Amino acid sequence: MKFTDVRKAAWDTETTGPNPLEDRIVTAAFIVRGGGRDDRVFSWLINPGVPIPAEASEVHGITDAMVQADGQDPKTALDEIATNLFQAAAWGMPIVAFNQSFDWTILHHDLVRNGLPTVEERLAEYAGLPLPLIDPHVIDKQVDKYVKGSGQRKLKPTAERYGVQLEDWHTAEADALAALLIAEAQFEKHPRLGDMGPAQLFAAQQSWRAGQQASLQEWFRTRATPEQGGDPNKRIDGSWPLIPAQRAGGES
């Protein structure tokens, strides 16, 4: 069966900031689509218990007033998000997120912070089951290595390169859907992706991500100007999908 026809999930988070180890989720979406059945969309507005910086609110539109008035308790919402991911993974359903390591890591640490089991812990009874995660960001860097222009690897310009057009960018629902549609376009354009089983694709993305981040680290160390953040001691973690807390740092 073609990837475009498979029942699959996509998810996205909007957060208090760009650090997945320390920041908190303020809104999230989980979309299930395909397989000849109706779409299902789940979304959460969460009161993170900490102030939302103005620069974060400018990106996603979620303010302190909004989460204080209507935000769910984080423990309840985070448990629901993790449950959806657990169920999808247990069923072997492909789970798509653009720059998956950010969302997977911030959810992981938010769950731990709230005394909740991580998705991996919930899947312990399914030992040996490969995580069916798909990251269009990692795949794009692998299959199209020479994209010119600063910022052209971000979600919206990436979507445009794959012919995906949406409105309401930077809502979790729109970003999750965009990631899913990009993944469908990638599997259509590069059939070898569909030839891989979940375990092989998972391992491939881990390897690709490690190489991509090592290359980025080398660029920062040897070619980037100080204005670009150049630093001979720059460290960028290449872990995927989970960035360990003790190895923080780096950008996608």
Q: How far is CA 43 from CA 14, 93, 155, 250, in A?
A: 11, 19, 20, 28
Residue 41: count of CB within 10 angstroms of its CB: 12
pLDDT digits (tens, 9 = 90+) for 68-82: 999 999 999 999 999
229 lies in some domain: no
Q: Please report, for the domain that includes residue 113, its CATH number.
A: 3.30.420.10
pLDDT of residue 221: 97
Q: Return the SS3 of 38.
A: strand
> How far, in whole angstroms, is CA 82 from its chain's centroid?
14
Q: Which domain holds residue 137?
A: 3-197
210 lies in some domain: no
CA-CA distance, 20 to 113, in Å (whole number)?
Answer: 12
235 lies in some domain: no
233 lies in some domain: no
237 lies in some domain: no
Q: Can you list the residues of the chain whose pLDDT is less than 50?
A: 247-252
pLDDT of residue 247: 47
How many domains does one find in the chain? 1
Nearest Cα to Cα of residue 101 among 139, 75, 64, 68:
139
CA-CA distance, 123 to 133, in Å (whole number)?
Answer: 14
* Cβ pair 82, 117 in contact under 8 A: yes
pLDDT digits (tens, 9 = 90+) for 197-208: 999 999 999 999
CA-CA distance, 166 to 203, in Å (whole number)?
Answer: 31
The radius of gyration of the chain from alpha carbons, rounded to an integer in Å, stands at 18
